[in-house]
Structure 1
Amino acid sequence: MNQRTLIALTCAFVVFTSLAIIGQRGQEASNPTSTVFLGGLIAELDSINLIELSIGGNETIATIEREETGWTLAQRNGYLANEQKINRMLLSLAEARIIEAKTANPEWHYRLGVESVDIDNANGVAVRLTGPDLTIKVIIGDDAGEGQVYARKIDEDQSYLIDSDPEVGNSVTDWLDTNILSIATNRIQQVKIQHSDGETLIIAKEGPDQTNFVVSDIPVNRELRYESIANTVGNTLSDISLQDVEMVSDSRGQSTLTEFLTFDGLVITAESANVNGSDWVTFSVGYSSPDNLEEEQSISENAVEVEAEALRLSEKLSGWRYRIPTYQFDQLIKRMEDLLAPLPEESS
Structure 2
Amino acid sequence: MRRSTLAILLGFTLALAAVGAWLVANKIAQTSADLSGQLMLPGLKARLNDVTEVDVAGAEGRFTLKRVGADHWVMAEKGDYPADFGKVQRLLLALADLRAIEPKTARPDRFHFIDVEDIGPGTRGLQLTVKGPDGSAFGDMIFGKPSSVMGAAKVPRFFVRPVGQPQSWEAEADVRLERDAAQWLERDLVVISPDRFRAASVTIDGAAARISRAKPGDVFSLDGLDPGAEQVKAARLNALSVAASYLALEDVQPADKAPAGTPLGRVSFETFDGITLTLDLVSIDGQGWARIDAAFDPVIAGESRLLDPAQDAGGQPVVRPAEDARAEAGAIAARTKGWLYRLDGTRVIDLTPKRADLAEPKPAAPPAPETPTEAAPTEAAPVPPAQ
Aligned mate of 1:283, from 261, 277, 292? 292
Q: How does 1:201-220 map to 2 (within 5 A)?
A: 201-208=209-216, 210-219=217-226, 220=228
CA contact (8 A) 1:273 1:281 kept: yes
Q: Matches of 2:319 and 2:95 in 1, distance apart?
A: 49
Q: Matches of 2:141 and 2:323 in 1, distance apart?
A: 49
1:107 has 2:109 as partner: yes
Aligned mate of 2:99, from 97, 111, 136? 97
Q: Matches of 1:49 and 1:189 in 2, distance apart?
A: 45
**In the alignment, what sits opposite 1:247?**
254
1:174 has 2:183 as partner: yes
Q: How does 1:115-194 map to 2 (within 5 A)?
A: 115-117=117-119, 119-132=120-133, 135-145=138-148, 146=150, 147-164=156-173, 166-194=175-203
CA contact (8 A) 2:295 2:330 kept: yes
1:335 has 2:354 as partner: yes
1:39 has 2:48 as partner: no
Give structure 1 stretches of 5+ with no counterpart.
1-28
Residue deviations 1:271-300 (CA, integer Å, cap 9, x gap)? 112232111111111111034528839999
* 1:75 aligned partner, one-letter code: E
Q: Matches of 1:231 and 1:278 in 2, distance apart?
A: 23
C-alpha displacement of 1:211: 4.0
Q: Which moved more, 1:130-139 or 1:186-195?
A: 130-139
- Would you say how many aligned residue pairs link Structure 1 and Structure 2? 313
C-alpha displacement of 1:223: 0.7
Aligned mate of 1:260, from 262, 269, 275? 269
CA contact (8 A) 1:293 1:300 kept: no
SS in 1 for 2:131: strand
Q: Matches of 1:306 and 1:342 in 2, distance apart?
A: 39
CA contact (8 A) 1:127 1:139 kept: yes
SS in 1 for 2:298: coil
C-alpha displacement of 1:34: 2.9
Aligned mate of 1:321, from 307, 315, 340? 340
Q: Matches of 1:159 and 1:241 in 2, distance apart?
A: 38
Q: Matches of 2:107 and 2:341 in 1, distance apart?
A: 45
Highest CA radius of gyration, 1 or 2?
2
Q: Matches of 1:174 and 1:317 in 2, distance apart?
A: 18
**In the alignment, what sits opposite 1:11?**
none
Q: Matches of 2:300 and 2:270 in 1, distance apart?
A: 12
SS in 1 for 2:231: coil
Q: Which moved more, 1:255-264 or 1:138-147?
A: 138-147
SS in 1 for 2:94: helix
C-alpha displacement of 1:175: 2.0
CA contact (8 A) 2:43 2:138 kept: no
SS in 2 for 1:46: helix
Residue deviations 1:27-76 (CA, integer Å, cap 9, x gap)? xx9596532222132222232110111224xx751111112372111111
SS in 1 for 2:329: helix
Residue deviations 1:80-100 (CA, integer Å, cap 9, x gap)? 222232222222222222222
**In the alignment, what sits opposite 1:19?**
none
Q: Matches of 2:118 and 2:285 in 1, distance apart?
A: 36
Q: Matches of 1:79 and 1:269 in 2, distance apart?
A: 21
C-alpha displacement of 1:325: 0.9
Q: Matches of 1:204 and 1:137 in 2, distance apart?
A: 56
Q: Matches of 1:82 and 1:294 in 2, distance apart?
A: 38
C-alpha displacement of 1:261: 1.0
* 1:317 aligned partner, one-letter code: T
C-alpha displacement of 1:217: 1.1
C-alpha displacement of 1:310: 1.9
C-alpha change, 1:245 and 1:345, in structure 2 (3 Å) is farther
C-alpha displacement of 1:160: 0.7
CA contact (8 A) 1:52 1:60 kept: no
Q: Matches of 2:340 and 2:169 in 1, distance apart?
A: 42
1:88 has 2:95 as partner: no
CA contact (8 A) 2:236 2:358 kept: yes
**In the alignment, what sits opposite 1:199?**
207
**In the alignment, what sits opposite 2:281?**
272
- TM-score for the superposition, normalised by structure 1: 0.80
Q: Matches of 1:306 and 1:74 in 2, distance apart?
A: 33
C-alpha change, 1:294 and 1:230, in structure 2 (3 Å) is closer
Q: Which moved more, 1:288-297 or 1:182-191?
A: 288-297
SS in 1 for 2:182: helix
C-alpha change, 1:294 and 1:277, in structure 2 (3 Å) is closer
C-alpha displacement of 1:343: 5.2
Percent of residue pairs identical: 23
Q: Matches of 2:110 and 2:218 in 1, distance apart?
A: 62
